[in-house]
Amino acid sequence: MQTNLFDYHLPEDRIAQEPMTPRDRSRLLVLDRATGEMQHKHFADIIEELHAGDLLIANESKVFKARLEGKTSRPTNPAFSPIEIFLLRPHAGNEWIALAKPGKKLSIGSEILFASDVKAVVKEKRSEDGTVILAFEKSPEEIIAWTDTAGSIPVPPYVRASETNTKNYQTVYAKNVGSVAAPTAGFHFTPELIKKLEQKGVRFATVTLHVGLGTFRPVQTDDLNDHIMHEEWVSVPMEVRDLIKETRSNGHLAIAVGTTTVRALESGLTEGFTNIFIKPGYHFTWIDGLITNFHLPKSTLLVLISSFIGERHQDPDKGRQIAIATYEKAIELGYRFYSFGDAMFIR
């Protein structure tokens, strides 16, 4: 499929800049993927959509403070200048894959100095994706612990950072540190809503996918088949897969909270790195429903939800048509988009 088929126009004022308070007061568009029928509710109404015995599977990855301020010099120029480093994920040993701004200031061998006498050396510059490989003197675990005091939470580029949205850029159930971007479909859950769902008999399970920037970047190739996903680390305990099988065998639904949860489950891995790219025509093995936000044009996430909708139709393009029509209706009705925006429940 051509990438431009997944494009749509979003007015800038539809991009949510702050989270809803309380979180479950965000709007909820309920979509029947077989018919394209929509219902318009609030997220707290998800209780009405779920039944005792249904299973919600969420990504419990936690965002770490991956944005760092430092100063650098080139081997040929000892004068230091400021630079921003965005850690993406550990690479090998004490190395990290990172983004640098401005990257042109760096060359192989450049030294970057941070606060607390922490430093890194540029080992490699990758022209294909603009990343750099940095070697630290500390282990990845020590670096993540250090960033908690030295770094800042990286909100997406389409969000104007504020004290409120930076503080709230985390799910209430976040546990395993490692993401550079939050699994935002989970933002709509509050402890009170989770308790009410549990009291109704809805069950919960968790997986981990440490979210990288590649998930959210628009596809740059003209053909979807030419796009290569960045790898992301996943952990899916076998008991979660067993619970999904049990849930379905009892006639109940397994519902993923977020596209990152879908990718973790559909990777087929217990633990490891995945670059799975779900496109129209894909057969979903592990989920019956999906709670998700509204995604960027020409993004792999919009392609994924189009694929999930299209699974109910013989024509692989039907899912894309329904997804785009749904998005256009949501824009018309004033839904809020992207990370701090409203939610969809696709069933």
User: Same domain for 95 and 196?
Assistant: no
Domains identified in the chain, total number: 2
> Looking at residue 79, what is its pLDDT?
66
Q: Model pTM?
A: 0.92
| Shared-domain flag, residues 121 and 196 | no
Neighbours of 333 (CB within 10 A): 12
The CA radius of gyration of the chain, in Å to the nearest whole number, is: 21
* Spatial CB neighbours of 229, under 8 Å, sequence gap ≥ 6: 214, 215, 275, 276, 277, 300
| Mean of pLDDT values over 26-40 | 97
More reliable by pLDDT, 159 or 288: 288
* Residue where a domain stops, chosen among 115, 150, 185: 150
Cis peptide bond upstream of 191, omega within 30:
no
pLDDT at 116 over 90: no
Q: Are residues 259 and 138 in the same domain?
A: no
Residues 99 and 248 in one domain: no
Contact 2, 223 (CB under 8 A): yes
Domain span at residue 241? 3-63+162-346
Q: Is the same domain home to 305 and 339?
A: yes
Phi and psi torsions of 169, nearest 5°:
-85, 65
Q: Are residues 180 and 264 in the same domain?
A: yes
Do residues 59 and 73 share a domain?
no
Within 10 angstroms of residue 106's Cβ, the number of other Cβ atoms is 20
Residue 283 has pLDDT above 80, yes or no: yes
Say whether both 188 and 333 belong to one domain. Answer: yes
Shared domain for 284 and 335, answered yes or no, is: yes
Give Cβ neighbours of residue 279 (< 8 Å, ≥ 6 apart).
Answer: 1, 224, 225, 303, 307
What does the pLDDT look like over 56-113, one tens digit per residue?
A: 999 999 999 999 999 987 656 666 789 999 999 999 899 999 999 888 878 899 899 9
Residues 224-279 pLDDT 10s? 999 988 889 999 999 999 999 999 999 999 999 999 999 999 999 999 999 999 99
